Homo-oligomer: A and B are copies of this chain.
Amino acid sequence: MNNHTESEENYIKALYYLGGEATVASGALANRVGAKGPSATQAVRRLASKGLVEVIPYKGVKLTLDGLTLAKHILRKHRLWETFLVEKLGFGWEEVHSIAEQLEHIQSRELVEKLAEYLDSPAHDPHGDPIPQADGKIPPAVGKPLQQFPQGSSLKVVRVEDAGTDFFTQLDLLKISLGKEYTLKSVSSFDFSIQLQAEEGESFWLSHSMSSNIYAISL
């Protein structure tokens, strides 16, 4: 009941990402793990025989309680490792996801807890995503997309979507990072681009595709 392959764990994590506790179509699952339909059908059957998921043929797949617990544990490891890579090793936030994709499968309860302690039991990873805690509780996802703030608001960036390398590069070019504070000067009603103004320094415009992946709280 405890030893899972890397492939199994990736399916479990995908299931959690796509549906949480809800039912997910096998095609969506296959797509998420980068496999074809029949591979997912088979994989899901292996998982069912281990009690990690429930399958209703032609209807969909759902995590069991055991599956849910495992999913959150893997996500915990993924995000702790991302935090380690950025905070301790000095990686940029765009580089860590693919390495954490490997590290999340390392099996050692003691390692996870020692790592968490070493990082001061963080509640959020370098992208602002909540890190599931050892007891399975998940801190709330903070912030809302920049669009949802009215003109003139003071806000602080607290989270960014993992929208690929180019997105992160653009963030770096614009010197946007978690914790930065801005005033939302204006919103274009033509293309929904947004003008931000930092404490000191000139203001700049953000395209809709950029701003929709940036989350903030108001100050």
Q: Which residues of A contact B (CB under 8 A)?
A: 85, 88-91, 95, 98-99, 102-103, 106-108, 110-111, 114-115, 118
Contacts and interface: CB of A to CB of B under 8 A. Distances in A.
A36 to B, nearest CB: 21
Contact of A106 (B88, B95, B99): B99
B115 A89 contact: yes
Contacts of A85: 111
Nearest to A91: B114
Contact of A118 (B88, B108, B118): B88
A110 B88 contact: no
Interface of A, secondary structure class, is helix
B118 A99 contact: no
A111 B97 CA distance: 12
A40 B85 CA distance: 36
Contact of A89 (B90, B99, B111): B111
Contacts of A91: 110, 114
